[in-house]
Amino acid sequence: MTELPELIKGVKKRKKSFQRELYNRYAPIMRAICIRYTKDHDEAEDILQEGFIKLFTKINQYSGAGSFEGWMKRVFINTSINYIKKKRNILFHYDINDIPNDGMTYNFSDESRYNSGEGDIDDDDFTEEEIMTIIGKLPDGYRLVFSLYAIEQLSHKEIAGMLNISVSTSKSQLFRARKTIQKGLAELSKAKQEHKKKLESIRQKGSNLRLIV
């Protein structure tokens, strides 16, 4: 396997073999990023192709400072966000602190109302695919902000600049995203526990039967 600096050099010279090797090495990770942002596999495929073409044509802009994988991820994230912008307008539900009190509204500062009481979440309870499924069910605005904050670890200011929204919108979207994910994880955990119990009872019944026999 070619060393990364050598690989980058070859890609900068537009050599096809190096481009292919870079693609083989990083395509699965980048595709996962694309799916995370667009949630549609066909769209993710289009974004992946567009992203790699941009990468190959603009690789001379990578000056060598900072991580190459990080730079590459940013290319794909930007490509994903731009793709989504072109295809559909992303809706952000604005901060409800501004709305008149004509219904049952909530102030985000009232944390007790949002305590789901579902208990601790264990890392080992969930697979990557299950996490992806839960994230995929989020609305566009929630999903983008949450992914950029929790996974790419950008600040609200950076997210606001990237998505051209206010910092407060970014915060409220993140809050709602976390709530939704938390609920989703809790339901999934509950379902898994129930499934486990069922399996256990079936096993016990089975072993009792053997004993009888």
Partner 1 sequence: MDKDFNKIDKLVNSKMQTHAVDSTVNSWAVISRKMAWRNFLYFRLSSINIYYVSLFLIASIWGTLSYSNATTTSSSAGSFAVTETIRDIHSQEINPSNTINIEETFTNPEKSNPETQFTSNTIASNETQLIKAANNTDNNYNTEQINATVNNTKLLNKKASSSAAKNDLNELTHKNAIIEGETQISSNINISQKVTDLSPKTLASELSSLNQDFAIKTTNVDNLIQESFSTTKYSELDFMSPIFLENMMLFSDNEMDPDFKRDDTLEFYKLPSERTSWLIEAYFSPLYTSNVTKSIDSEMAEFINTKSEIESPVLSFTTGLNIMYQGKKNILLQTGVAYTQLGERIKREDMEQITTSTIPIYPDGGYDHYDTITFINLDSLNQGIHYTDTMLEHSWIVDNSTHDVSDTAKYKGTNTRNKYTYIEIPVIGGYNFEGPGFDLQLKAGLITGFWLNSEGMKANPHNSMELVDMNSDSPEYRKVNYAFTAGFNVNYPISDRFNLTTGLMYRKSLFDIHDSYLYDQRQKGTELHLGIQYRL
Q: Which of 80, 138, 181, 189 binds partner 1 (CB under 8 A)?
A: 181
Q: Is 59 in the site for partner 1 (CB under 8 A)?
A: no
Contact 144, 93 (CB under 8 A): no
- Does 1 interact with partner 1 (rule: CB under 8 A)? no
- Does 47 interact with partner 1 (rule: CB under 8 A)? no
Which range of residues in 1-9, 147-155, 194-202, 204-212 is near partner 1 by CB under 8 A?
147-155
Cα 93 from Cα 84, distance rounded (Å): 17
Q: At what angle do helices 68-87 and 41-58 cross, to 10 degrees?
A: 130
Q: Which of 6, 136, 151, 202 binds partner 1 (CB under 8 A)?
A: 151
CB of 134 to partner 1, least distance (A): 9
Choosing from 28, 209, 211, 212, the residue that interacts with partner 1 (CB under 8 A) is: 28
Residue 102 in contact with partner 1, rule: CB under 8 A:
yes
Enumerate residues 67-96 that contact partner 1 by CB under 8 A. Answer: 71, 74-75, 78-79, 82, 85-86, 88-94, 96
Q: Which stretch binds partner 1 (CB under 8 A): 2-10, 103-111, 187-195, 199-207?
A: 103-111
State the DSSP string of the chain.
Answer: ---HHHHHHHHHTT-HHHHHHHHHHHHHHHHHHHHHHH--HHHHHHHHHHHHHHHHHHGGG--S-S-HHHHHHHHHHHHHHHHHHHHSPPP-PPPGGGS-SSSS---TT-GGGG--------GGG--HHHHHHHHHTS-HHHHHHHIIIIIS---HHHHHHHHT--HHHHHHHHHHHHHHHHHHHHHHHHHHHHHHHHHHHHHHHHHHHHHH-
Q: In the range 6-25, which residues lie near partner 1 by CB under 8 A?
A: 13-14, 16, 19-20, 23-24
27 interacts with partner 1 by CB under 8 A: yes
Only one of the segments 1-9, 163-171, 193-201, 202-210 lies at the binding site for partner 1 (rule: CB under 8 A); that segment is 163-171
Residue in 108, 80, 90 with CA at minimum distance from that of residue 178: 108
Minimum separation from the CB atom of position 195 to partner 1 (A): 20
Q: How many residues bind partner 1 (CB under 8 A)?
A: 82
Site membership for partner 1, residue 188 (CB under 8 A): no
